Copies of this chain bind each other. A is one copy, B any other.
């Protein structure tokens, strides 16, 4: 019979949000545990109830975001559609996620370009994206998509997208529906046979 006070998951959520905000504003180097805790209205020591240490906080924040992104990608996933439509849906889903969550996207980019990324269990993260990868394999088999490594295909589909949707990298550029369809057209032209 466990008698215990329950953890307040709002605090974990607040710590995630504080981490994302601070790391985007002042970077990994200046984002101290005490600043993050203060931003989340939590005591520094309380942070250690939810995370083993600072590193664990940063890595967990990344995995949390990446999982959200995977769910967004697979939300409208429909295996029965033509391959181009499946990929188009996925592309738009990711674009929408990145547009609606610019802070999460910026954190993701900053994190994955830093040495912290080596601490992530990649198998766990990539597992979420398998269905989408399978579609590309199917597209190759059906001679619809160029016969190239999946990671090359993914690079052409998603890398420009992240740049375009990221205000830090493309501040001057605001996307509208026309530009968006153009951009997907370019991504598709790159990978289609």
* A residues adjacent to B (C-beta < 8 A): 24-29, 31, 106, 109-110, 112-118, 146, 148-149, 151-152, 155-156, 159-160, 162-164, 168-170, 172-173, 179, 182-183, 186-187, 189-192
Q: Assess whether A27 is in contact with B114, with CB atoms less than 8 Å apart.
A: yes
Once bound together, how far apart are the Cα atoms of A71 and B152, in whole Å?
Answer: 27
Name 29 interchain pairs, CB-CB below 8 A, sorted by A: A24-B115, A28-B28, A28-B114, A29-B29, A29-B31, A106-B113, A110-B113, A112-B169, A113-B168, A114-B114, A117-B168, A146-B182, A148-B179, A148-B183, A149-B179, A151-B164, A151-B170, A151-B173, A152-B173, A152-B183, A155-B160, A155-B164, A156-B156, A156-B160, A156-B190, A159-B163, A186-B190, A189-B189, A190-B190
Question: Closest CB-CB distance, A123 to chain B, in whole Å?
Answer: 13
Of all chain B residues, which has the CB nearest A156?
A: B160
Query: What residue in chain B is nearest A31 (Cβ atoms)?
Result: B29
**Which B residue sits closest to A118, measured CB to CB?**
B168
